[in-house]
Structure 1
């Protein structure tokens, strides 16, 4: 791996979620003169980003071997650390971090340990919270992707957590805006139809049933509004059945996993997020970069980004306010343009290169 600083990223899996996409963004803009990277993961997931990471020059190693519950994954990680003379281990899963922290202390060549908090502590299982609390002090650096994630930690730990908005590849996302006409034609949309789009995996914390119920209210009140959802997950069949039960038909389409989500997002008129739990969603930052007005539930790090100047924040779990906000934006093209322009301007704060340089500074400090 050369004379550069050797960094091992550890994740539970490499599915196309927000955390994994942040790793891919880092891989693409990393300082390769100073750092080499490798990824270890425990769980194989559909639509894995492994191929994308390896195409970006980051090798990937399955340390779980299909059995993440088997504690031998810890021995595989330690062997990897020893064989590659890893300087920094950066962990992106609370469960993985809690188990690995004391194990790394057994190594004669002990790498620095960096940990990123992607979600709120209240969203973790009780045993994970307890193990994190006991082992947190073994880390050399702590990072949180949102103020909500940082502030959810026990008070005595918060002062050591650095808030760092990780960002997206702004130029790459913005370049997808030119795909709008093509994508809308492929989706069969007319010029005067309003497309409301969500980008989130089909998991309980994203609360798609809430969005489906809100969509039913919207289409009952307004013609010419359609919904699409990008993402895959274990609730697919259940959500499709609920869509059909509500009689939404082609007014609400599940498009599944889309490799180039920003290209499809360029066809949206409104970006919507109905989650109960969030860190700071990558898709939200991409929506801003594309100049999309936002309707989102006020959870996690979302209020850190969304206010009345770029969209509408609504209470989590409530159908009426979510439907009302969507109707408000669907009815007013001038309002959508104004909010979208403000979102595009605000997106400048989401330049991934800034966050990546800071993370790499943390690596150098911790390793040094």
Structure 2
């Protein structure tokens, strides 16, 4: 098979980019040729002669992601239409190109986020809020257009599958393919607290994510901290540039118990230095970091609004009904901080659950979808040819 994958980046260090990287690896492992229509591609993939990169360059001078993404969609569609005979399966990610795709992975459903009771943006709440509202609304419409026109829509969680059905995507098109995790790398990593400047005598709660958006919900974690014993600290991995949370920690009087590490390159090592993972995201499709924490053997505290909560049972973590419930969050963390036996048992159970979600499993699922799509398209061509032959016979009989 010849596979074309359209995404902004194919690389190790971000969620969607890592998923597409592993899909490409799986396709190469099955002897496929892979065309990557993307702005960035990992050099490790380009070393394989069966990989072709079609670079889509988007000048940073274009203002806002909304416009830059539209330019990417137009440029990628122009190449795909011109070269459509050079691939058997076209795999895209959400709305990313003005073409009809065969397989579309739903990593995020903007319509689902907009319908969430925790959606914070509106047209009358300031310029930034108005832009975010327009961005979400436009993407919700474009995604609906893209999903409805795809042969198969791969939802990264059951939560996303439900949101796709609400958006009008027929259930027959939807297949749940959970994201994967490098179970070996996270299970076998090691690290020391001193290498990250962390205290040995503290109970360390890790939070990892984008600190520029309120959606990830670090604020609730910080507000829960004064209700917890003084030895409970929060370790924050994520760029602090343009983030309001360092100031919020100072305002709450807990700055000495919150350790902002900025961008962390060796996340597996960091996860082996902490005691638990907290992720009460207000909206998530399927969190890679949640899977990574589980693979590292950490008990997790999350919320039902976070994609990935569906795979967590009471043996390996605590799932809150409301991501903004400060008391419930403090109570959950307090249980873990005060009971080492419970913490170790949950961590071991989390590791066992994560073992079911390796990248190889995810890649195999996508390869099976590709094969089904190829068969489906071949059957459609056969039906059209048969229909044309029958019409020609009828016309010929009438002529005679």
Q: Calculate the TM-score normalised by the size of structure 1.
A: 0.82
Aligned to 2:106: 117
Q: Is 2:134 aligned against 1:145?
A: no
Residues paired across the two proteins, number:
337
**Structure 1 counterpart of 2:4, from 7, 23, 28:** 7
Partner of 1:230: 237
Match of 2:133 in 1: none
- Work out the CA distance in 1 between the residues paired with 2:91 and 2:226: 43
Q: Which residue of 1 aligns with 2:56?
A: 62
Change (3 A) 1:290 1:205: same
Query: 1:162 — aligned with what?
Result: 175
1:211-244 superposed Cα distances (whole Å, 9 cap, x missing partner): 11112322xxx132221111226642x1111112
Runs of 4+ in 1 over 6 A off after TM superposition: 12-15
Q: In the TM superposition, what whole-angstrom CA distance separates every residue of 1:11-36 from its partner, at most 9, and x where no partner exists?
A: 38979442223223434554345233
Higher relative contact order (CA 8 A, sep 6+): 1
CA gap 1:306/1:79 in 2 versus in 1, 3 angstroms: same
Matches within 5 A, 1:1-368: 5-11=2-8, 16-41=13-38, 50=40, 53-57=42-46, 59=53, 61-66=55-60, 67=62, 69=67, 71-81=70-80, 82-83=82-83, 85-94=86-95, 96=96, 100-101=98-99, 104=100, 112-120=101-109, 121-123=111-113, 125-155=136-166, 156-159=168-171, 160-176=173-189, 179-180=190-191, 182=192, 184-202=193-211, 203-218=213-228, 222-232=229-239, 235-236=242-243, 238-314=244-320, 315-368=322-375
Residue 13 and residue 33 in structure 1: after superposition, are their counterparts in 2 closer, same or farther (change >3 A)? Answer: closer
d(CA) in 2 for partners of 1:80, 1:223: 58
Contact 1:293 1:311 in 2 (8 A): yes
Displacement of 1:205: 1.0
Range moving further from structure 2, 295-304 or 351-360 = 295-304
**Cα pair distance change 1:209/1:75, threshold 3 Å:** closer
Alpha-carbon deviation of 1:199?
Answer: 1.4
Shift of residue 158, structure 1, vs aligned partner: 4.2
* Superposition deviation, residue 88 in structure 1: 2.9
Structure 1 spans left out of the alignment, 5+ residues? 43-49, 105-111
Q: Deviations over 1:296-331 (max 9, x none)?
A: 122142331222111111121111111111111011
State the alpha-carbon separation in 2 of the partners of residues 137 and 275 from structure 1: 28
Q: TM-score if structure 2 supplies the norm length? A: 0.76
Give the secondary structure class of the aligned counterpart of 1:280. coil
What is aligned with 2:126? Answer: none
Distance in 2 separating the partners of 1:276 and 1:73 = 29
Stretches of structure 2 lacking an aligned partner (at least 5 in a row)? 115-135, 376-400
Q: 2:164 aligns to what SS in structure 1?
A: coil
CA deviation profile, 1:161-213 (whole Å, cap 9, x unmatched): 1011121121222221xx13x2x122344544211001111122101111111
| Higher CA-based Rg | 2
Cα distance in 1 between the residues matched to 2:15 and 2:25: 15
Does the CA-based 8 Å contact 1:12-1:93 persist in structure 2? Answer: no
